[in-house]
Amino acid sequence: MENRIIYLIRHGKIQRAGEERRYVGHIDLPLTQEGIKQAQHLQKRFERVKLGAIYCSDLSRSIQTAKIIVDSRNLPVIPRKDLREVSMGKWEGCTFGEIAQRFPDEFKARGNDIASYQVPGGESFAECGKRVVAALEDIMTSTSGNLLIVGHAAVNRLLLCHILGMPIGNLFRILQDHGCLNVIQCGHASYQIKLINGSGRNSHR
């Protein structure tokens, strides 16, 4: 494996009804104005960074973020379905409170087995992890140079868990704010994490 850097980004803030937390999953939502500004900060952060390829999820929020970051570069943004956020099946669009009230047993069961529990019509974090790790490995073998990947909160957490050797059940110990930056150094035989949940601004805050 060549020496290179993976810049792993979470898309900017998205438009959704109300402020209560919801299961979004595969629902295709655009960025808010704040989300656009977050992507613009990332664009400034990367305007002088050499990149070999740019990949993203095929959902609008990731594509929009990636295209803002790319700006006028002569590099295509390549969307991949296998980089999509974890599917929340029949729970998508519902608030956490609604699910806890309507399906208390299922809500509790998922909390007790966060890695393997599969939401009806959706996928478990373990299943999503296999999907996105396979996507990363394919991208790494088919490209050269530094990579920029715009993913999602769960997708990024699962990739970082894999690289760190952390159990998937601990994924929520990793923060992934909207528009955050993770920096992964790739050596000849291993990965090293240089930054997790950093700001997109030049200061790396």
Question: What CATH number is associated with residue 159?
Answer: 3.40.50.1240
Stretch 52-69: mean pLDDT, rounded?
Answer: 97
Position 84 in a domain: yes
Write the DSSP assignment of 56-93 as a string of letters: EESSHHHHHHHHHHHTT-S--EEEEGGGSPPP-GGGTT
pLDDT digits (tens, 9 = 90+) for 149-195: 999 999 999 999 999 999 999 999 999 999 999 999 998 778 999 99
Q: Is 104 inside a domain boundary? A: yes
What range defines the domain where residue 147 resides? 4-198
Residue 204 lies in a domain: no
Helical segments of 92-152, H only = 96-102, 104-112, 125-142
CA atoms in the 13 A half-sphere facing the CB of 185:
5
Q: pLDDT of 18-38, one tens digit each?
A: 778 899 999 999 999 999 999
DSSP-based three-state secondary structure for 172: helix
Q: How far apart are CA 34 and CA 47, in angstroms?
A: 20
Tell me the sheet residues that pair with 126. none
Residue listed under structure tokens 């059940």: 169
Asked if residue 205 is part of any domain, the answer here is no
Q: What was the pLDDT predicted at 188? A: 76
Reference 156, options 98, 189, 197; nearest CA is 197
Task: Determine phi and psi for 128, rounding to 5 degrees.
Answer: -65, -40
Q: Rounded to the nearest 10 degrees, how much is the dihedral formed by the CA atoms of 45, 51, 57, 58?
A: 110
Residue 174 is classified by DSSP as: S
Identify whether 184 is part of a domain: yes
Structural domains of the chain, count: 1
| pLDDT tens, residue by residue, 110-162 | 999 999 999 999 999 999 999 999 999 999 999 999 999 999 999 999 999 99
More confident of the two residues 59 and 201: 59
Residue 203 lies in a domain: no
Cβ atoms within 10 Å, residue 32: 16
- Of 169, 96, 128, 117, the C-alpha closest to 26 is 128
Read off the pTM: 0.94
